[in-house]
Amino acid sequence: MVQFSGDIIDYLIMVALFWAYKKKMENVGEITFFVVLLKLLLNGAEYLFSALLLPFLPLVFYAVLDKMSKQSIRRDVLLISGGIGLACLVSFLILSIQVSITASPAEAMHHFMNRLMARTYSPDLLAFPFKNFTKNISIIQLLHLYLSMPCVCIGSFQISFMMMIVFFFMISILAFYLYRCYQERILLALLATTWASILCPLSWILMAKGHSATHTFIDQWIWHLPFTLFGMALTVVTLQMCSKFFYKFRINSAA
């Protein structure tokens, strides 16, 4: 239940920013600060690298969809980055106060570094049960492991995440062709956001090696935060555009 609630909070970061852009709100920095701080206070640093990239995806989507100016994009990048930075600072100060109640400042800093390094590249700082495995596996091996994991399972039939990426790539080619034909910017916006969102799972798998190498039973869901969701959205919209194309083709042929 705790893990599930944490996952929902991660998605809420992105949903809140999509809502703000849809409503043409200017305070994206403040909204980013509150939702990121909420995530840090309730769910800590779980999937932190991925979560901190989520606020930028709505910006990518609406920057393409609405043809935002470069000045507006730069402003929003700074506002979102500032909101994220301030939220991390406030969360760190709150955690420091909590730890300092029972430990010295030096012990508190050791605790922070211990947990950070355990999730990235130095699990030897902890009595890690899988530390040898974590040290021996390479980044390429780790990425291959996560790409080969099943994304869709129907009985004995499985589709790996690698196959899904290839599928989304093929859909992307079709989507770009349809965009060139009909100039539907929703296709271009989803195309850009889908491939920008792949940085979210990759950032956690590659940067949090200590965690992802030893928590393969649960970290595989990171592909859905939110790359596969945008990939499916792109697929649905592209197929809708194809159906409209064939419908118009049949009408014109009948005429």
What amino acid is encoded at 230 in this protein? F
In this prediction, residue 128 has a pLDDT band, given cuts at 50, 70 and 90, of very low
The dihedral formed by the CA atoms of 183, 188, 189 and 192, expressed in degrees to the nearest 10: -160
Chain centroid to CA 75: how far? Answer: 22
Q: What is the mean pLDDT of residues 107-118?
A: 69
pLDDT digits (tens, 9 = 90+) for 36-95: 999 988 887 778 888 899 999 999 999 999 999 999 999 999 999 999 999 999 988 888
Spell out a b/e string for 8-38, using b for 16 or more CB atoms within 10 Å of the CB, else e. ebbbebbebbeebbeeeeeebbebbbebbbb
> pTM score, two decimals?
0.86
What's the pLDDT score for residue 255? 59
Counting residues of the chain whose pLDDT is more than 70, the rounded percentage is: 85
pLDDT at residue 115 above 60? yes
User: Could you state, in order of their start, the residue ranges of all structural domains in the chain?
Assistant: 1-102, 137-255
Lowest mean pLDDT among 112-126, 136-150, 214-228: 112-126
In this prediction, residue 254 has a pLDDT band, given cuts at 50, 70 and 90, of low
- Find the angle CA(74)-CA(75)-CA(78) to the nearest 5 degrees: 85
Give the integer Cα–Cα distance in Å for 89 and 50: 18
